[in-house]
């Protein structure tokens, strides 16, 4: 029977991380640059995405790396703009990028966002706290475990439970 550390190492070995970086870095950087209009900030965002990916690789089950990495780049870029205290309307950012969103897409986005917020409210308090520490504050399971004084397995279970509630609530 393998220990958790051995399983993590095996999973990280199965993903050819250097090749993943080479295959996706430029595309991610270009995407971040179209949002941020800042070369250095874009490079920082891409670096953060790969660092977070490495830290969270053991808990991820990704089928489409391109989609996952571009989505992570988008969210990191938007978080970067938020951290700079700039007012952000995601639709405005996409319009600047030359991506037009019709009324249907805007409504779908708003409906999904509303469903997500409502799902978060249905998640039990402690479970929501663990989930938000993981996703909003981007803490690792180990950091959450230490901060809240609970086991890593409890953290994993709580995040999994929260994701299940959210998946059920979001439109397919």
| CATH for 138 | 1.10.10.10
Global pTM? 0.47
Looking at the 3D structure of the chain, how many domains does it have? 2
Straight-line distance from the first to the last Cα atom of the chain, in angstroms, rounded to the nearest whole number: 37
Say if residue 106 is in the same domain as residue 36.
Answer: no
- Assess whether pLDDT exceeds 80 at residue 106: no
Most confident of 5-14, 58-67, 69-78: 69-78
Question: Mean pLDDT throughout 40-61?
Answer: 90
- For position 96, what pLDDT does the model report? 59
Say if residue 37 is in the same domain as residue 71.
Answer: yes
Range of the domain at 164: 102-172
CATH number, domain containing residue 27: 1.10.1740
Q: Are 78 and 90 in contact, with CB atoms under 8 Å apart?
A: yes
- Domain limit, last residue, from 47, 71, 101: 101
- Assess whether pLDDT exceeds 80 at residue 99: no
Measured between alpha carbons, how far is 126 from 171 in angstroms, rounded to an integer? 25
Say if residue 116 is in the same domain as residue 54.
Answer: no
Say if residue 79 is in the same domain as residue 134.
Answer: no
Say if residue 136 is in the same domain as residue 78.
Answer: no
Question: How does residue 108 score in pLDDT terms, banded at 50, 70 and 90?
Answer: low
- For position 16, what pLDDT does the model report? 84
**Higher confidence at residue 92 or residue 17?**
17
Say if residue 48 is in the same domain as residue 132.
Answer: no
Question: How does residue 157 score in pLDDT terms, banded at 50, 70 and 90?
Answer: very high
Nearest to 80 by CA among 35, 113, 116: 35
Say if residue 158 is in the same domain as residue 89.
Answer: no
Say if residue 16 is in the same domain as residue 49.
Answer: yes
Measured between alpha carbons, how far is 69 from 84 in angstroms, rounded to an integer? 22
């Amino acid at each position: 029977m393998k220990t958790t550390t051995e399983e993590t190492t095996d999973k990280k070995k199965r993903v050819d991380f250097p090749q993943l970086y080479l295959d996706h870095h430029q595309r991610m950087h270009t995407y971040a640059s179209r949002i941020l209009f800042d070369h250095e900030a874009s490079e920082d965002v891409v670096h953060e995405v790969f660092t977070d990916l490495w830290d969270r690789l053991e808990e991820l089950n990704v089928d489409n790396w391109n989609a996952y990495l571009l989505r992570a780049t988008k969210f990191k870029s938007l978080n970067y703009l938020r951290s700079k205290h700039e007012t952000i309307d995601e639709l405005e950012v996409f319009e600047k990028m030359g991506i037009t969103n019709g009324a249907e897409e805007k409504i779908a986005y708003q409906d999904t966002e509303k469903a997500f917020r409502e799902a978060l409210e249905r998640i039990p308090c402690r479970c929501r706290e663990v989930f938000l520490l993981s996703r909003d504050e981007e803490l690792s399971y180990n950091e959450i475990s230490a901060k809240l004084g609970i086991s890593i397995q409890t953290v994993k279970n709580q995040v999994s439970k929260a994701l299940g509630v959210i998946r059920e609530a979001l439109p397919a």
